[in-house]
Amino acid sequence: MPLDPPVVRLNFPALQKSSAIFFDNPGGTQICQPSLKRMVDYLTTCNANHEGAFATSRQSDSILAEAHAAAADFYNAARPEEIVFGANMTTLTLHISRSLARWLKPGDRIVVTRLDHDANISPWLLIAEERGCAVDWVDFHPEDGTLDLDGMRQMLERQPRLVAVGYASNALGTINPLASIIPLAKQAGALVYVDAVQYAPHAPIDVQALGCDFLVSSAYKWFGPHVGILYGRYELLEELFAYKVRPAPNDPPGKFETGTLNHEGIAGVLGAIEYLEALGEEYGASFESELASTYQGRRLRLKKAMSAIRKYEEGLGRTLLEILEEAPGVTIYGLRDLNRLNERVPTVAFRLKGWHPRRVAEELDKAGIYVWDGNYYALAVTTRLGIEEDGGMVRVGLAHYNVDRELNRFGEALRKLVQ
């Protein structure tokens, strides 16, 4: 069955309390009710610190363990111990990069791309400077926002120690072909670090099929609270040095989960995954045959949910692109070909002739439509496009709780600006 948007929307309290249109989703989605309930239940029934001899601490630890197992299923990791929780993707990446830096020596090479969020660029620039490493940049094609794969192959011929690449661009919506990039990087002897923040809300993730070494996202981008979730291949997490206090565990994931974590937030991650699992149970029947042979139980339900979301959002993305194409004075950045919707998520950036992006966002806000403007920390993208000094772009990002009538309102508001 296809997704039923009115029923889906009932799971999001913000959508019931506000008439606003939330197209700011790439910066953070609205939180689902199961996630909120898990957080409140945690704080009111078992708010305790780790590894105590008393009941609430045992109950707290049980919930945290369940959350690790659920997140492993969300990523299709091999085991719960491959999941590290932290504040957000940026903080986790800075943390892990510091550990990885100990493996680097002067002259080693690191590959980054100009299509990435700066959270998957600056941490590697910092450790390169610290360790005397060379940084090789992979460009993207400005005309359609796709990664320069020939350039990536050339950089991999230099045998880098690490490749940092995004799953989907938070600025242009481009999905990078990781199934092609990662095997080439592994053949070159590199570790692969994937930023999946912008991909995670829109489609299934399978770290085992990808073959990456690390992958990270933030739950507040996929209907949960402000918590980051890192996958790391267990042998690597086990071998890596961890910057931690002495009494902390020496085994993963505990050795990387510094201090007392955001326990209620982690409970909220569990709730967000439970929401998606229920969605897969209800709407993922059409994906049963193609997934059941590979995935079982919760993993199957999650894959079905994300596949159903992906299919629904392709229709939304098509409508959004059509609206923007028809509006006079609009320049779309990134893929515009409606036959290549499988190569992008429904995040679209544009500029309106004669209008500063901030002013466009302010005018849309007056119409109750929330969008982002600027560079969204994708500094390398706006710099490469030559628009950083001019305010960047306006970004519209859709989620599976958005509906056609919201896009129609957006189209009407945009037409008023260009009249």
Close Cβ partners of 64 (under 8 Å, ≥ 6 residues apart):
50, 261, 263, 266, 267
User: pLDDT digits over 350-361, tens only?
Assistant: 999 999 999 999
Query: What gap in Å lies between CA 16 and CA 5, rounded to an integer?
Result: 13
Q: Which amino acid belongs to residue 212?
A: C
Count Cβ atoms within 10 A of the Cβ of residue 362 and give its class: 0-12 exposed, 13-18 middle, 19 or more buried.
exposed
Q: Where are the alpha helices (DSSP H) in 102-231?
A: 122-131, 149-156, 178-187, 207-210
Query: What gap in Å lies between CA 242 and CA 257, rounded to an integer?
Result: 9
* Token pair listed for 239: 């071998």
Close Cβ partners of 223 (under 8 Å, ≥ 6 residues apart):
12, 29, 30, 31, 32, 35, 201, 272, 275, 276, 399
Count Cβ atoms within 10 A of the Cβ of residue 349 and give its class: 0-12 exposed, 13-18 middle, 19 or more buried.
buried
User: pLDDT digits over 120-174, tens only?
Assistant: 999 999 999 999 999 999 999 999 999 999 999 999 999 999 999 999 999 999 9
Partnered with residue 136 across adjacent β-strands are 111
pTM here is 0.97
Q: Tens digit of pLDDT per residue, the chain (419 long)? A: 789 999 999 999 999 999 999 999 999 999 999 999 999 999 999 999 999 999 999 999 999 999 999 999 999 999 999 999 999 999 999 999 999 999 999 999 999 999 999 999 999 999 999 999 999 999 999 999 999 999 999 999 999 999 999 999 999 999 999 999 999 999 999 999 999 999 999 999 999 999 999 999 999 999 999 999 999 999 999 999 999 999 999 999 999 999 999 999 999 999 999 999 999 999 877 766 666 666 789 999 999 999 999 999 999 999 999 999 999 999 999 999 999 999 999 999 999 999 999 999 999 999 999 999 999 999 999 999 999 999 999 999 999 999 999 999 999 999 999 87
List the domains of the chain with CATH numbers.
5-30+308-418 (3.90.1150.10), 35-274 (3.40.640.10)
Predicted confidence at residue 194, as pLDDT, reads 99
Nearest to 223 by CA among 245, 201, 244, 207: 201
